Amino acid sequence: MDKVCYSCGMPLMGEAAEKARGNYCQYCSDEKGDLLPKEQVKAGIAGYLKSWAPTDKTADFEKRAESYMNAMPAWAER
């Protein structure tokens, strides 16, 4: 199985693997490879989810992102 970001689940292969920092993708980590603050990562995931349903005015993408993050290794133990 390919490696995935421990924070958001993004597959770390190809160009994403080159930009990965340890167990985190380029979107979930800083230049040193440290995990970004949870709220910052959550906002990014919520934005990604919203991009799939831009006309949905009823969905709470922040809540969906929070729920998703709770299942990821980086956030499950926090």
The model's pLDDT over 8-60, given as tens digits with 9 standing for 90+, comes to 999 998 888 888 888 999 999 998 989 999 999 999 999 999 999 989 989 99
Cβ atoms 21, 35 nearer than 8 A = no
Contacts of 38 (CB under 8 A, 6+ apart): 69, 75, 78
pLDDT given at position 28: 96
Domain ranges of the chain: 15-76
pLDDT given at position 29: 94
pLDDT given at position 78: 54
Contacts of 77 (CB under 8 A, 6+ apart): none
